[in-house]
Amino acid sequence: MLQRRPCFRVCYICGREFGSQSISIHEPQCLEKWHTENNQLPRHLRRAEPRKPEVLTDMIIKTM
Ligand SMILES: [Zn+2]
Protein backbone atom coordinates (compact mmCIF):
# COMPACT_ATOMS: atom_id res chain seq x y z
CA MET A 1 0.00 0.00 0.00
CA LEU A 2 2.72 2.47 0.99
CA GLN A 3 4.71 1.74 -2.17
CA ARG A 4 2.06 3.56 -4.18
CA ARG A 5 2.88 6.80 -2.35
CA PRO A 6 6.64 7.33 -2.67
CA CYS A 7 6.49 11.05 -1.80
CA PHE A 8 4.81 10.82 1.57
CA ARG A 9 6.50 11.97 4.75
CA VAL A 10 5.50 11.20 8.32
CA CYS A 11 5.08 14.21 10.55
CA TYR A 12 7.53 13.79 13.47
CA ILE A 13 5.12 15.61 15.76
CA CYS A 14 1.77 13.91 15.20
CA GLY A 15 2.88 10.85 13.19
CA ARG A 16 0.43 11.40 10.35
CA GLU A 17 1.39 11.08 6.70
CA PHE A 18 1.61 14.04 4.36
CA GLY A 19 2.89 14.74 0.87
CA SER A 20 6.42 16.09 0.70
CA GLN A 21 5.08 19.56 -0.11
CA SER A 22 2.22 19.70 2.36
CA ILE A 23 4.39 18.53 5.25
CA SER A 24 6.52 21.67 5.00
CA ILE A 25 3.31 23.64 5.50
CA HIS A 26 1.95 21.30 8.13
CA GLU A 27 5.00 20.92 10.39
CA PRO A 28 5.18 24.55 11.65
CA GLN A 29 1.42 24.56 12.24
CA CYS A 30 1.54 21.17 13.92
CA LEU A 31 4.36 22.26 16.21
CA GLU A 32 2.47 25.41 17.13
CA LYS A 33 -0.63 23.35 17.90
CA TRP A 34 1.49 20.93 19.90
CA HIS A 35 2.83 23.79 22.03
CA THR A 36 -0.67 25.17 22.58
CA GLU A 37 -1.99 21.79 23.71
CA ASN A 38 1.09 21.02 25.77
CA ASN A 39 0.83 24.33 27.61
CA GLN A 40 -2.73 23.49 28.60
CA LEU A 41 -1.68 20.23 30.20
CA PRO A 42 -0.93 20.00 33.91
CA ARG A 43 2.76 20.46 34.54
CA HIS A 44 3.42 16.79 35.32
CA LEU A 45 1.84 15.69 32.01
CA ARG A 46 3.81 18.01 29.79
CA ARG A 47 6.28 16.47 27.41
CA ALA A 48 9.53 17.62 25.90
CA GLU A 49 9.24 19.18 22.49
CA PRO A 50 9.49 16.59 19.68
CA ARG A 51 12.78 16.75 17.87
CA LYS A 52 13.08 16.63 14.13
CA PRO A 53 14.76 13.33 13.22
CA GLU A 54 18.21 13.51 11.69
CA VAL A 55 17.47 12.45 8.13
CA LEU A 56 21.08 12.76 7.02
CA THR A 57 22.40 10.15 9.46
CA ASP A 58 21.72 7.24 7.12
CA MET A 59 23.56 8.89 4.26
CA ILE A 60 26.59 9.63 6.40
CA ILE A 61 26.78 6.02 7.56
CA LYS A 62 26.54 4.71 4.00
CA THR A 63 29.28 7.06 2.83
CA MET A 64 31.62 5.79 5.52
ZN1 LIG B 1 1.77 16.86 12.44
User: Which residue from 41, 31, 33, 35 is spatially nearest to 11, judged by alpha carbons?
Assistant: 31
Give the Å distance between the CA of 18 and the centre of ligand 1: 9
Give the Å distance between the CA of 63 and the centre of ligand 1: 31
pLDDT tens column, 7-19: 788 999 999 999 9
Number of domains in the chain: 1
Output the pTM of the full model: 0.68
Q: Cα separation of 16 and 23, whole Å?
A: 10
* Residue 41 confidence class, pLDDT cut points 50, 70, 90: very high
Expressed as residue numbers, the domain containing 47 is 2-63
Q: Which residues have CB atoms below 5 A from the ion given as ligand 1?
A: 11, 13-14, 30
What's the pLDDT score for residue 36? 97
